[in-house]
Amino acid sequence: MASRATSAQGRAGPGRGIPGKGCALQAEVSIRVGVVVERLRIDNRWAQWSWRPVAVFTDAPEDDAWRVLVADGDVTRFHAGNATVTLHRKLVEAYRVNLARDAPSLWVVLRDAEEADAGDMPYAVAAVTASPYEAQDYADSGEGLIEPVPVPPELLAWLVDFVRAHPAQEEFKKRKRDKLRIEEQKFGKEPIFKRSGNAPDQS
């Protein structure tokens, strides 16, 4: 049985649903993605299933209710919902760290679902991020489930374009006091402003 997730990714195609290159110059850009979650039957006295995010895809449908994409024996994959991936220029350094990894990732965050969220499903999609630092913050909170998934090629190109459009800013360095001025003050020359911050008497 062909995976609907695969066909959905195929429909997206390179660049479909991806903001144009001109958008990379903006301070913040976003795109909606669909999240694929895998359910695996396990032999455990405490739990019947294990759950984990395994993929994202572009060109996600408007309806983000849980639906089966492919079922094969003990393994079922679902479209579990949609999320918005947002890139911001203030987080470019985090994206650089991600791109420097052997396999750049997107991190999918699932939260424990309330009954109204997902029916019989135990999780609901909370977020998808390209920042490993933001992902760590979610992991440190200890709530829900967070897993890295591969970055689809069209999203990887989008991320690279954004990082290239926003070069890293030069680190601020505290200016050192001029040695000559220090020596002049040592020999009794009055500084422009006294230590109190008041201007010297001009009378």
Over residues 173-183, the pLDDT tens digits come to 444 544 444 44
- 54 part of a folded domain: yes
The model's pTM: 0.71
- 67 part of a folded domain: yes
191, two tokens: 């500084």
User: Is the predicted pLDDT of residue 202 greater than 90, yes or no?
Assistant: no
Name the nearest CA neighbour of 12 among 157, 160, 152, 162: 152
- 203 part of a folded domain: no
Domain ranges, residue 41: 4-165
Look at the chain and count its residues.
203
- 192 part of a folded domain: no
pLDDT band at 18 (very low <50, low <70, confident <90, very high): low
- 108 part of a folded domain: yes
Residue type (1 letter), 44: N
66, two tokens: 């849980």
CB atoms inside a 10 Å sphere around CB 139: 15
- 58 part of a folded domain: yes
pLDDT at res. 83: 96
Q: How many domains does the chain have?
A: 1
Q: Is 82 exposed, middle or buried (0-12, 13-18, 19+ CB in 10 A)?
A: middle
Rounded-to-integer distance, Cα 124 and Cα 109, Å: 9
pLDDT at res. 141: 87
CB atoms inside a 10 Å sphere around CB 32: 16
- 18 part of a folded domain: yes
- 195 part of a folded domain: no
**Cβ–Cβ < 8 Å for 137, 108:** no
Positive/negative CA dihedral, 128, 131, 137, 139: positive
